[in-house]
A and B are shown apart, each in its own frame.
Chain A
């Protein structure tokens, strides 16, 4: 069974919604679409208050290379352009639209046909990704056209499609692989063409045997695509761990997958690319899992971007009485949101409601030096040491101990028997070290 070599934890999977088919969430009365739903420069708003927009129309355009377009997810009237608190806890500009009907742009192919032939060249595909606002849907939301553009001097020979979905609770990728397998495979072929590679590997954790058999059955019809089952171990879906597990290449510290001639995209992204290229449909909706052990009707939904999390929770039977925390994303790496009026964005893979008794941190007890955090670290760092160095402001040494390698997967904090907030301090140290390094560069 393929997996990454060091570290990792196995939290309870809690994939409550694995058997629930994806439904379309009813359109909300209004949406608030943030202009920054990706890593990089926020897009620039192109519409004004009072404008009428159609579903799929560009409402904010990318600014610079690392940026992408934002589209309206509904048809209706722009009520205001204002700031909104987003899932990261920061305020940012958003376009507020009151929904009127659901009139899509005519260019979008809304038929049920699944066109397999790829008519476009590599450059055209990359351009389409930018125009359609495609970003990495695994959660990092890095603009896909950037990842597909192989810089001069770099070479890519392998595409990896990430279907690991190693976060507990989340099932959006799982359901997508089951219900849109052919589309994902076509999307994968498109990505292969864009990258000019003839080999793609789809990695799926083996707690999703139905998805593995579904995709590997269909993959026989596609040239160069193979499906691989992976051991259930968090963080199996982390980019560098996945590359190591599937093709046994180790991305050097501080470098990118392209440095080992590989590119990783999420299955959700492959589906979005399929829709953008074959159906001309920009990215304005995605699959979101709404789940939690107290949730009445947990499920998976196609949700338009800008939909308030509240609508999604209502569709799932309302906010349970005992809710103590609402997480946007998975429980290991997701963000706790301050209120449920936060909009669903391109990177929202799930909404997990955590009961009050599980939502509070435990008492911090002294470190017993059990070394379980060292054993849990998939990057072979020493979390206990990085925390201590950050606590004591010894950032130079933290840098030498490679604090910036940390991908913040949370395995150390998860595993600590003394309930120590290892990752909190590592984040602090990491941010300070990055600041220091920037200062050094500018001097």
Chain B
């Protein structure tokens, strides 16, 4: 009989969600930020994004095929997400060769060495970015001023990011009230008209992406919300203590990579905790570390470092922070 019935264990039906669809959802959520980066940074944004995504895909393909000799996994979309996020963390005038090196570090070192998707302890895009920041500090900190297609690629006019302006100014002993006149207005910052990495500048576009991620149930609000709230409260307290020495909390949220990091980097499935309680602690840790690095550290921006440091604690959190089981009896004594 060729009409044999399939016999397997329940459940016999399966939800429609797949890895590929989730990754596609993240890519969709990044589209608004991509368009704003093209709008503000012109050709540079297109070149950097294309090179980054393409080299991430190629590295993953070649490593899977010739080094690990396993099945090709690039169709799952995770390499595209890594490529996009890496590009969004770069200035739009960065030379092609440096992007390729960064992609190699992201995919080959941070992801495939550990066994590919699902096994990497650190966020691949951030490992790539931090490697580039340390190896190519000049290229990685020259930020083109937003000028759309009027600006060139590597010859773009550059300027400092709002965070760098504050950091430098404070170092030179200038009070915040004077420095604030040099940075863009909150409205400009919300829409992304400021110096910075391609994907981080436009809060509005990132929030649109966040709404999509929530709507598609790809992530929950827990990690992004705790990061933002922690940074807001911590910087708010400092600002209340001395507004001439510390910038106000809304500046800290809108400047730099807080929203890009909180919404897209810290929520990376593989490197974030597995239950809500641990997610709250993880978000709190990222928020605290970001502020500490920004205010007392050597770098003006600390989101990437904060996320990577908290990534290292994720296995510990998964092992020791447990959800309250249904029917758990509280032990007495």
Q: In whole angstroms, how far apart are the Cα atoms of A258 and B327 in the complex?
A: 14
Most chain B beta carbons < 10 A, residue from A325, A352, A421: A325
Contacts of A374 in B (CB 8 A): 274-275, 323
In the complex, chain A residues 1-31 whose Cβ is within 8 Å of any chain B Cβ: 6, 9, 11-12
Chain B residues contacting A365 (CB-CB under 8 Å) are 19, 76
- Render B27-55 as a binary contact track against A, CB cut-off 8 A, 1 for contact: 00000000000000000000000000000
- Residue among A338, A381, A408, A411 making CB contact with B7, cutoff 8 Å: A338
> Which B residues are CB-close (under 8 A) to A411?
11
User: Would you give the 0/1 interface string for A369-404, flagging 1 where the beta carbon is closer than 8 Å to chain B?
Assistant: 111101100111110110000000000000001100
Known: A250-B326, A253-B327, A371-B269. A408 touches B18 (CB 8 A): no
Q: Which of the segments B57-65, B111-119, B126-134 contacts the partner chain?
A: B111-119
Determine how close the nearest CB of chain A comes to the CB of B11; give it in whole angstroms. 3
Q: Is A439 an interface residue (CB 8 A)?
A: no
Q: Which of A6, A337, A370, A413 contacts B22 (CB 8 A)?
A: A370
What count of chain A residues pass the 8 Å CB interface test?
72
Contact A368 B323 (CB under 8 A): no
Give bound CA distance, A168 to B329, whole Å. 32
User: Is A366 a contact partner of B11 (Cβ separation < 8 A)?
Assistant: no
Asked if A413 meets B5 with Cβ closer than 8 Å, knowing A369-B118, A381-B325, the reply is: no
Tell whether, in the assembled complex, residue B118 and residue A332 are in contact, meaning their CB atoms are under 8 Å apart.
Answer: no
For B1-38 the 0/1 string (1 means CB < 8 A from A) is 00101111111111101110110000000000000000
B12–A354 touching, CB < 8 Å? yes
CB distance from A334 to the nearest CB of B (A): 6
Main secondary structure of the interface of A (DSSP, over half): loop
Tell which of A362, A382, A416 touches B323, judged by Cβ atoms closer than 8 Å.
Answer: A382
With most chain A CB atoms within 10 A of its CB, the pick from B10, B15, B21, B322 is B10
B11:A410 contact, CB within 8 angstroms? yes
Does B179 lie at the interface of the complex (its beta carbon under 8 Å from any beta carbon of A)? Answer: no
Q: In the assembled complex, which residues on chain A have CB atoms less than 8 Å from the CB atom of B19?
A: 365, 368, 417-418
Residues of B within 8 A of A368 (CB): 19, 22, 78, 117-118, 269-270
Tell which of B7, B14, B273, B325 touches A337, judged by Cβ atoms closer than 8 Å: B7
- Does residue B69 face the partner (Cβ distance < 8 Å to A)? no
Is A252's beta carbon under 8 Å from chain B?
yes
Q: Does A427 contact B (CB under 8 A)?
A: yes
Residues of B within 8 Å of A, CB-based: how many? 39
**For the complex, is B324 an interface residue (Cβ under 8 Å from A)?**
yes
A57 contacts partner chain B, Cβ-Cβ < 8 Å: no
Return the CB mask of B311-333 against A: 1 if under 8 Å, else 0.
00000001000111111110000
Give every chain B residue within 8 A of A327 (Cβ-Cβ).
Answer: 10, 12
Within 8 A of B (CB), among A318-372: 323-327, 329, 331-340, 352, 354, 356, 358-362, 365-372
A423 to B11, CA, bound (A): 8
Contacting residue for B269 out of A9, A331, A370, A413, CB 8 A: A370
A339 contacts B327, CB within 8 Å? no
Other-chain residue from B6, B10, B325 in contact with A335 (beta carbon distance below 8 A): B10
Complex Cα gap A323–B3 (Å): 8
- Residue of chain A at shortest CB distance from B275: A374
Complex contact B329–A253 (CB within 8 A):
yes
The distance in angstroms between the C-alpha atoms of A421 and B76, with both chains bound, is: 19
Give the chain B neighbours of A417 by CB distance below 8 A.
15, 17-19, 21-22
Per the bound structure, the CA–CA distance linking A339 and B5 in Å amounts to 7
Chain B residue contacts of A414, Cβ below 8 A? 11, 13-15
A182 at the interface (CB under 8 A from B): no
Binary contact readout B220-235 vs A (1 if CB under 8 angstroms, 0 otherwise) = 1000000000000000
The answer to whether A115 has its CB under 8 Å from any CB of chain B is no
| Complex Cα–Cα for A314 and B115 (A) | 51
For residue B186, give the distance in angstroms from its CB to the closest CB of chain A: 35
Name the one of B11, B269, B327 contacting A369, with C-beta atoms under 8 angstroms.
Answer: B269
Q: Are A366 and B13 in contact (CB under 8 A)?
A: no
Instruction: Check: A405 CB closer than 8 A to any chain B CB.
Output: yes
How distant is B60 from chain A, measured CB to nearest CB, in Å? 13
List 14 additional A-B contacts (Cβ < 8 Å) besides A252-B328, A417-B17: A9-B15, A11-B15, A252-B327, A253-B325, A324-B6, A325-B8, A336-B7, A356-B6, A362-B18, A366-B119, A380-B323, A381-B325, A382-B322, A418-B118
What would be 18 A-B contacts, judged by CB atoms less than 8 Å apart? A168-B13, A336-B10, A352-B12, A366-B117, A369-B269, A369-B274, A370-B269, A371-B269, A371-B274, A378-B326, A380-B323, A380-B325, A382-B275, A401-B322, A414-B14, A414-B15, A415-B17, A417-B15
Question: Chain A interface (Cβ within 8 Å of chain B)?
Answer: 6, 9, 11-12, 89, 168, 240, 244, 250-255, 323-327, 329, 331-340, 352, 354, 356, 358-362, 365-372, 374-375, 378-382, 384-385, 401-402, 405, 408, 410-411, 413-419, 421, 423-424, 427
